[in-house]
């Protein structure tokens, strides 16, 4: 719930900004390419899941997937991925005590 | 009957502990969210949350997971009405009249009627469960391995018949599920089968991986494959004071709600994706008996009230075969069966006697859960509708992250994530070419049970296959199966003849 409300807030501000630009840019998506990249990222993250550790993998996964789906602005993309990784870390590792891989970050 | 009531009161004692109330609330909220969010349905949702229940006792775990199932039925209608996008398959029908009502500015009453109808249907459905389950369980005690075998075969065939567009495709999926189910240790002799020397495969293919893969990852991939303009849509967000339906709305709806409940409850007892079929059946009935059939499709409130009640009632009665026979007839209850087994409870006719606290506790929690959902859905509908504003390009990566994390948690194994990705890719291709995942998943969960029942029957009869037709109950099921297999054939032949004549 906390995460969704955070997203909502961010989105609210984002909407404000994009409304002005709307109507000018409608980019056609190369959906097959997008699909391959999307699936490829999932495979790569799984491949290095143990070595990278959960917090870092979740951050990289979010960052890459968001970018592939067209969230290109780093000022939005980076903090969102970072927040997601932090929230997931505290939710799963600290609160629910799930033994997720630590990796070389050691968290 | 009085005994049942006595047990039910004890069940309420269990369900109203702070601990269980909390899990019921979590289940209801998560269920509503899953129902609201397109791209993740109750099957993947329940599978994803199984690991979160590992630390709980079985009763609390099932209270929460069941809450997700019926909560999703409530939530699914929200997207249908506001967006014309069904949150899950059981609310496809609600789109027809629900979205029309929203376009006429009557989204509020439509949502309110959904919640009220679901509540009434859910509550009546649970009553049915309370009074039908114990006598059915007693009857099911007469079932031996041959009866179970025939019943499962019957279930497979009926499910394959009613899901998807093609019986052949559905049967293919069921057979693939059965084949995958044989991987791992032989349930009777303990030999390793089809493991190719891999230790990871000894335990068989994790059904949670298949469920999340087919229904979670597969669905996300289908969404990624869509052009991005599809991901942005207009959302109606109703204001609170517009929510209340008029007296006339209520008067019009009460008939459809009660009929929908009856239809849903009956459909839930037979194999198949009950909530989906129940909504179709209810919609057709309402349109047929309506004095103004021309209003249907243009925003008739009856077309919302009936199907929404039907899917909730079906959802409750689907628990009867699960609890009484230990045989789930639809994928969500199949996942619940898996969850029960993980917690060391094996459902069947003995369940009510052996684990009364679980059976009655869960049933009592359904009453409470329905009440929570009514409260949750009426005033908070605008809030849930706002969640729909999270664009899919943010939602989809989040779903993937939860899938991967959730999958790892089940066995702390990377191998399971690989399996999930494999089935995710498979699920995407299946969706593209119109193959249904439900028969595969059900066959995977039931396959080992089917095999054990088959082999035990043959052991009893010393290898004589007559055991399946000599016992009356078993023969009835097999006959029914044969009829279900022959009907499509006859229909095909008749169609061909008609074509030749014309």
Quickly list DSSP for B30-81: HHHHHHHSTT--HHHHHHHHTGGGTTS-HHHHHHHHHHHHHHHHHHHHHHHH
Classify residue A25 by burial, with Cβ atoms within 10 Å: 0-12, 13-18, 19+: exposed
Q: pLDDT tens-digit profile of B437-455? A: 888 988 898 888 899 999 9
The percent of residues above 70 in pLDDT, for chain B, comes to 95
pLDDT band for B430, please (50, 70, 90 cuts).
very high
With residue A49 as reference, give the H or E element that holds it. helix A49-52
- Contact status of A27 with chain B (Cβ, < 8 Å): yes
- How far apart CA B3 and CA B85 sit, in angstroms, is 45
- How far apart CA B202 and CA A23 sit, in angstroms, is 56
Contact B278, B310 (CB under 8 A): yes
Residue B121 pLDDT > 50:
yes
- How far apart CA B182 and CA A66 sit, in angstroms, is 39
Main-chain phi, psi angles of B184, to 5 degrees: 115, -155
Q: What is the mean pLDDT of residues B73-77?
A: 82
Q: What is the pLDDT of residue B203?
A: 85
For residue B214, CA distances in Å to A68, B44, B48, B89, B203 come to 22, 8, 12, 15, 20
Q: What is the pLDDT of residue B429?
A: 94
Name every residue whose Cβ is closer than 8 Å to that of residue B198 and which is 6 or more positions away in sequence: none
**Contact call for B405 and A58, based on CB within 8 A:** yes
Q: What is the pLDDT of residue B446?
A: 86
DSSP assigned state of B88: S
**Contact call for B227 and A28, based on CB within 8 A:** yes
**Contact call for A100 and B404, based on CB within 8 A:** no
Q: What is the pLDDT of residue B68?
A: 92
Give the dihedral sign, CA B377/B382/B385/B389: negative
- How far apart CA A57 and CA A44 sit, in angstroms, is 10
- How far apart CA B400 and CA A65 sit, in angstroms, is 9
Question: What residue ranges do the domains of chain A occupy?
Answer: 32-107
Residues of B in contact with A46 (CB under 8 A): 404, 414, 417-418, 421
Size of interface A-B (CB pairs under 8 A): 95
**Contact call for A31 and B408, based on CB within 8 A:** no
The percent of residues above 90 in pLDDT, for chain B, comes to 27
Classify residue B500 by burial, with Cβ atoms within 10 Å: 0-12, 13-18, 19+: exposed
- How far apart CA A92 and CA A55 sit, in angstroms, is 10
Residues of A in contact with B412 (CB under 8 A): 99
Q: What is the mean pLDDT of residues B204-225?
A: 89
Question: What residue ranges do the domains of chain B occupy?
Answer: 2-227+247-501
- Contact status of A20 with chain B (Cβ, < 8 Å): no
Q: What is the pLDDT of residue A22?
A: 40
Q: What is the pLDDT of residue B2?
A: 75
pLDDT band for A16, please (50, 70, 90 cuts).
very low
Largest CA distance in chain A: 48
- How far apart CA A5 and CA B379 sit, in angstroms, is 17
Residue A1 pLDDT > 70:
no
């Amino acid at each position: 719930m906390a995460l969704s409300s955070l997203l909502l807030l961010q989105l609210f501000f984002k909407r404000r900004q994009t409304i002005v630009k709307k109507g000018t840019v409608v980019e056609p998506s190369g959906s097959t390419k997008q699909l391959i990249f999307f699936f490829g990222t999932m495979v790569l993250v799984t491949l290095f899941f143990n070595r990278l550790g959960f917090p870092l993998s979740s951050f990289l996964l979010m960052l890459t997937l968001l970018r592939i789906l067209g969230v290109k602005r780093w000022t939005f993309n980076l903090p969102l991925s970072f927040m997601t990784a932090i929230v997931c870390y505290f939710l799963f590792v600290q609160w629910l005590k799930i033994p997720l891989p630590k990796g070389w970050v050691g968290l | 009957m009085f005994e049942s009531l006595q047990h039910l009161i004890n069940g309420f004692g269990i369900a109203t502990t702070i601990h269980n109330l909390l899990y019921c609330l979590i289940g209801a909220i998560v269920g509503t969210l899953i129902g609201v969010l397109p791209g993740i349905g109750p099957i993947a949702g329940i599978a994803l949350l199984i690991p979160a229940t590992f630390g709980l006792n079985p009763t609390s775990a099932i209270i929460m997971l069941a809450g997700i199932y019926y909560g999703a039925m409530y939530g699914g209608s929200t997207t249908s009405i506001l967006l014309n996008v069904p949150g899950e398959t059981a609310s496809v029908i609600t789109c027809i009249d629900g979205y029309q009502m929203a376009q006429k500015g009557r989204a509020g009453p439509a949502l309110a009627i959904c919640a009220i109808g679901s509540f009434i249907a859910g509550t009546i459905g649970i009553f049915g469960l309370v009074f039908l389950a114990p006598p059915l369980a007693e009857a099911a005690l007469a079932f031996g391995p041959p009866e179970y075998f025939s019943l499962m075969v019957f279930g497979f065939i009926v499910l394959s018949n009613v899901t998807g567009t093609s019986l052949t495709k559905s049967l293919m999926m069921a057979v693939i599920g059965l084949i995958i189910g044989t991987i791992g240790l032989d349930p009777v002799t303990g030999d390793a089968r089809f493991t190719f020397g891999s230790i990871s495969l000894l335990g068989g293919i994790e059904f949670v991986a298949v469920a999340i893969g087919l229904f979670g990852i597969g669905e996300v991939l289908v969404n990624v494959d869509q052009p991005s303009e599809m991901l942005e849509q207009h959302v109606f967000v109703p204001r609170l004071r517009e929510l209340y339906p008029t007296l006339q709305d209520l008067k019009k709806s009460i008939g459809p709600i009660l009929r929908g409940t009856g239809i849903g409850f009956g459909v839930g007892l037979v194999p198949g994706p009950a909530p989906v079929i129940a909504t179709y059946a209810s919609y057709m009935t309402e349109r047929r008996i309506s004095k103004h059939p021309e209003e249907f499709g243009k925003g008739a409130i009856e077309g919302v009230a009936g199907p929404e009640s039907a899917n909730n009632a079906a959802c409750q009665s689907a628990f009867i075969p699960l609890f009484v026979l230990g045989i789930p007839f639809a994928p969500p209850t199949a996942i619940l069966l898996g969850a029960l087994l993980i917690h060391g409870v094996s459902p069947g006719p003995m369940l009510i006697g052996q684990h009364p606290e679980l059976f009655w506790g869960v049933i009592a929690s359904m009453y409470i859960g329905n009440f929570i959902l009514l409260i949750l859905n009426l005033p908070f509908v605008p809030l849930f509708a706002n969640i729909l504003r999270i664009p899919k390009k943010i939602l989809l990566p989040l779903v993937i992250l939860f899938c991967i994390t959730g999958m790892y948690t089940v066995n702390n194994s990377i191998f399971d994530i690989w399996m999930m990705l494999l089935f995710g890719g498979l699920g995407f291709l299946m969706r593209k070419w119109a193959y249904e995942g439900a028969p595969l998943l059900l066959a995977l969960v039931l396959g080992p049970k089917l095999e054990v029942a088959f082999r035990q029957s043959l052991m009893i009869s010393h290898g004589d296959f007559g055991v399946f037709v000599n016992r009356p109950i078993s023969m009835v099921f097999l006959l029914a199966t044969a009829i279900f297999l022959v009907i499509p054939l006859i229909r095909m032949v008749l169609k061909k003849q008609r074509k030749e004549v014309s």
